[in-house]
Amino acid sequence: MLRRARYLLSDVGHWLGSHLWRVLGAIVVVAAVAVGGYYAYEELSEDDPSPAAGPQAVIQRVEASDAETEDLGFPAFATRNTTRVAGADPVADAAGVALAAFPSTGGVEGPAAVSLVDAEDWASGIAAASLVAEPVGAPVLLSADEEVPELTSGALGALAPEGSPETDDRQVFRVGSAAAEVDGLRTLDVGGENPAEVAAEVERLRAKLTGSKPGHLVIAPADEPALAMPAAGWAARSGDPVLFAQRDSVPKPTLEALERNEDVPVYVLGPASAISAKTFEEIEKASPGAQRVGAEDPVESAIEFARYSDGTFGWNINDPGHGFVIANADRPADAGAAAALSATGTFGPLLLTDDSAKLPAALRGYLLDLKPGYQDDPTRAVYNHVWLIGDQEAISVPVQAQLDELAELVRVRSGTGSSVLGPPPGTPEPERPDGAGGQQSDQDSQTGP
C-alpha cells in the first residue's frame, strides 16, 4: 500500500522522515510539511522474502506554486538555524524529540530506558527530566487517557530500550500515577498522590541509580506551570532533581527531600508571587543558603534562568555559540517532552514564548544580545541553533523566520566588536548626528524581525 505525506527536504528532515516512516507508518510525528516535495514508501507484505529491508523511502519532487507555499507550511520544518518538532500536541512532540535525540538506527543503540508520563501531568514530566541526564539517559514519552498512543508506541518500538545497570535493568520508568501501563517491558512505577510526592520519588530513584547525591536541587512552583517549565531543560542537562513547592507552603515530601540532601545547594525557580517569601524562608531553614532565580513574567523568568550562574549551577548563556529550545508557555507538558534536546546535541536552555504569532520583546532582545558574528572567516565562527517545539499553533512560521534571523551568523566590521540588528521592518531609520559612530555590520541596512 502506498502512503504519502509532505515533508521538508532537508538533511534533518530526510533522516527523521525516513526513520519515522519506518517506525510509525503513515502517521506524521515531526513536521509533516514540505516545500514542493513528497516522501513516499511502499510497505512490505508479511510474505516478502526480505522483511529486514523495511519500508523503502522514495523522494519525488513536486513543484509548488507561490499560492501553495502557505499550505505547504514553508519553512515550518527547518530553516538555516532552526529545527522544528512540529507535533500537534505534547504526545507527538515527545515522540519526535526522543527519536531526534536518540537516533536508534544504523547500528546506533537507543536509550536503555524511557520515562512514561501522562500528557496531562506536566509536573511529573518536569520531574522525570532529571532521568534524561547521564548515566540514566531516559527520554520522556507521553501517554494519554491511561493508554499508550500509537505515536508513543511507535517511538518506543523504535527506541527499543533494553535496560542497563544504570537503569536497574528497567526499560520503562512509569512516572506519576496516571501514566499508562506498558505490557511486555520491565517497568518501575514512580508514583505519588501529588506533584511533590512524585518529584521526591524521582529524586530518590536517581540517587539510587547513580549511587550519589545530586549536585544541586531545584524547587519549582507547583501552581505556576509556565514558571516551572525551564526547570526541565536544566534537570535533563545536569541531572539535578526538580522538587515542588506551593505558593504559601512547602509540601512534606519536598522538606523530606531537602533533609536527605542537607548539604546540597538549593535553587528556587520563580518569583515571590509563585513561591512566597514565607515559603522561601521555610526552604532556607531546611537548606541554608538557598538562592532564588526568576522573574514575574514566564518569558523573562526563563531568560533570567538561562543567564544565571552560581558556581557549577546554571546555564550561564551570555554569549553566542549555543543551542536553544523554545516552547509555548501554554503547553507545559512540552517541557518534559522537549527535555532531551537540552541534554544532547547542542545542549541549550528551554526558553518560552507566550504568543504563538508574535515574538516576545524580551526573547527577541535576549537572542539579539547573543547574535553570533565573525570578522574574517565564517567557518571559524561560533553558531546558534534553535529547536522549536510544537506545530504552527504553538509557534507560527513568521515567528520561526524571525528566530532564524536572530540566530543567523553576520559579518562584523573590524573593530566594531559585535553584530547589531536594527529595529523591526518598517521602523524609520533614526537620524544620526554627523560623524556619529556605533557598531556596524557589513549588512548596514539589515533589520531584525
280 backbone dihedrals φ, ψ, rounded to 5°: -60, -40
- Helix or strand run (H / E) with residue 189: strand 187-190
Nine cell digits for residue 161: 530500550
Query: Containing H/E element for 278?
Result: helix 277-286
Q: Is the model's pLDDT at 427 over the cut of 90? A: no
Full DSSP string of 305-345: HHH--BTTBS----SSS-EEEEEETT-THHHHHHGGGGSST
What are phi and psi for residue 39, nearest 5 degrees?
Answer: -110, 135
Could you tell me if 339 and 129 are in contact, meaning their C-beta atoms sit under 8 angstroms apart? yes
pLDDT band at 22 (very low <50, low <70, confident <90, very high): very low
* CA gap 17, 30 in Å, rounded: 8
Digit-coded pLDDT (tens) for 46-79: 344 433 333 332 222 333 333 333 333 344 589 9
Q: Which of 96-105, 116-125, 309-318, 423-432 has the lowest mean pLDDT?
A: 423-432
Beta bridge partners of 291: 267
CA distance 337 to 342: 11
Does the pLDDT value for residue 11 go beyond 90? no
Residues 6+ apart with CB under 8 A from 13: 7, 31, 77, 78
Average pLDDT over residues 266-275: 98
Tell me the pLDDT tens digit for each residue of 281-296.
999 999 999 999 999 9
User: Residues in the chain, how many?
Assistant: 449
Whether the CB-CB separation of 170 and 187 falls below 8 Å is answered with: yes
- Is the per-residue pLDDT at 449 higher than 90? no
The partner residues of 85 in beta bridges, in order of sequence, read: 389
Higher pLDDT among residues 316 and 67, named by residue: 316
What is the predicted pLDDT for the residue at 122? 98
Query: What's this model's pTM, rounded to 2 decimal places?
Result: 0.79
